Amino acid sequence: MKSTRQPARLSLRAVSSEEWQFQFSPYFWLASLHGTGGVGNQTTQVDESFSDIFHSLKFALMGVFEARKGRLVSLTDMEYVSIRDDKATPGPFFSNVDAGFKTFIFDQEVGYRLYDDPAKGASVDVLGGIRVWHVSTDLDFGAGILPATQIQGSRNWVDGVVGLRGKMALSPKLFVTGKFDLGGGGSKFTWQFFGGGGYNVKPNIALILGYRVLDVDYNKNNFVYDMNQRGPIMGLGFKF
């Protein structure tokens, strides 16, 4: 006797790879700050550990927005941070320095998914785009050999960047992910690394923990911002 059962039909959503997929991930980066900042002929050395960030941080706003359709990927990362460091090194001519830095960093990258295996939860993307910087520096030097002085300045510049990003599932709940990029143009050189893991709290919500390093060397037009930011990062990813 022949069976009258019809084969199950997959929904269009299950088989379509051409639908737009989005993810928004607000995050908080406990970043230390190490390097040199300066305006004109005055510079200061900054060595701010991530444990000092709650003392130095005045305001922060950070988030990543991702859009994907098929193998095409768009990635937007925005960060605004305002800090003040009263432990910066003033040099030999001043008694102390109170250094303030406001940084706005906007990354816009597009890419192509080189490798995609949904069954294993694994993917590799190649990315390219721009990193837009706005840095404002406020240096308040205390009197020493030279009288007290306050110096302010700001610069905008754009770097071109290229990089790779990957993800792999360890289980239905756990995954690892990472990203690396490098570039330059406005600055002498910039590079970035992120590595971490995540936990799928729900199908559309993930907790993400990791470590991030962002380095830039800018020294033009009497303005110096040669800094390395690094530290743990945590965030939530919302898919829709």
Question: Domains in the chain, start-ordered, CATH in brackets?
Answer: 17-239 (2.40.128.90)
In contact, 61 and 33? CB cutoff 8 Å: no
Handedness of CA 14, 19, 24, 29 (dihedral sign): positive
Q: How far apart are CA 196 and CA 165, in angstroms?
A: 12
Q: How far apart are CA 72 and CA 68, in angstroms?
A: 6
Per-residue pLDDT of the chain (240 residues; tens, 9 = 90+): 444 444 333 333 333 457 899 999 999 998 888 999 999 888 888 888 766 766 777 778 899 999 999 999 999 999 999 888 777 776 777 777 778 899 999 999 999 999 999 988 999 999 999 999 999 999 888 887 878 788 899 999 999 999 999 999 999 999 999 999 999 999 999 999 999 999 999 999 999 999 999 999 999 989 999 999 999 999 999 999
Q: How far is CA 52 from the centre of its chain?
A: 19
Q: How far apart are CA 161 and CA 182, in angstroms?
A: 5
Q: How far apart are CA 179 and CA 213, in angstroms?
A: 10
Of the candidates 10, 117, 25, 96, the residue with the CA atom closest to the CA atom of residue 67: 25
**Cα angle for residues 199, 200, 203 (degrees, 5° grid):** 175
Q: How far apart are CA 198 and CA 227, in angstroms?
A: 28
Token pair, residue 182, equals 């490098």
Given phi > 0 = left and psi -120 to 50 = alpha, else beta, which region is 5?
Answer: beta
Token pair, residue 122, equals 């694994």
Of the candidates 133, 165, 141, the residue with the CA atom closest to the CA atom of residue 39: 141
* Helix (H) or strand (E) segment spanning residue 56: helix 53-56
Query: What is the pLDDT at residue 54?
Result: 66
